[in-house]
Amino acid sequence: MHVLLLAETLPDAERLASAWRTAAPHATAAAREVRVPGAAGSSTGGPGPSGPQAAAPGHGTGAGGGVLLAGAAIPVGRPDAVGPLAVGPDRPGPSAPGPAPSALPRDEGAVLAEAAARADVVVAYVTRLDGEGLHRGVVVEAAAAAAPHAVPVVVITDRSEVSRREWSTAGLSGVHEAADGDVTRVARTWTPGWAR
C-alpha cells in the first residue's frame, strides 16, 4: 500500500506521512509539497488572483449575477453558453463534474501525475476546505493528478465548509475533519487491514 501525502508546505506533508506510517506501519507514505502559482491564501479562504467572486466557466455574472455563499460565487441565472450555436472554442459551455484543471506548470504537473499513478491513495491536507479550495490549490492539484489514473483522493482538513455533493463533484473520494491533525482514524479507514 503506497500513500501520497500532499500539502502546501513540506513540514505539514511530512507530519502527516509520519502519522500515517504510525497508524499503518506496513504502508509506505511519501510526502510532497505542492505550491500552486497564484493560490496564496487558498487554504485560509483568502481571495486568489481572480478575486473573491470569480464566475465559474461558462456562466455569466451579467444578467443573473452571482450569489456569495460560504466564500464561493455560485452563478445564478442563465449560463452564457446555451444551445449548440453558442458553444465553441471561445465559449466552451458549462464545465462537467470532475477536478478543476491544474494550475501547475506542465513539467511540475507531469511529475505530480507520475507520483499519483504509483499511489494507491492520494491524500491532500488543507487547514480549511471551502469553495475556493475546490477550485484552486493543493486539493485541485491532487484531484487533477490522480483522476487520469483512477486513484482515490482524500482530503484531511481541520475544518470543512463544503457539502458532500460539492466535494464529490470536484473528484474527491472523501473529506475528513481531523481534530488537532490526528490522522489515525483516516489512515485506518483508507488502509487495508493487511497494511496496518
Beta-strand runs (E) in the chain: 2-7, 28-33, 66-69, 72-75, 121-129, 153-160, 174-177
How many Å apart are CA 10 and CA 16, to the nearest integer? 10
How many Å apart are CA 111 and CA 99, to the nearest integer? 18
**Which pLDDT tens digit goes with each residue over 58-93?**
333 333 444 444 444 445 555 554 455 555 555 555
pLDDT-derived band of residue 50, with 50, 70 and 90 as boundaries? very low
**Which pLDDT tens digit goes with each residue over 144-194?**
999 999 999 999 999 999 999 999 999 999 999 987 667 888 988 888 776
- The pTM for the full model equals 0.69
Whether residue 34 is predicted with pLDDT greater than 70 in this model: the reply is yes
What is the residue-averaged pLDDT of the chain? 76
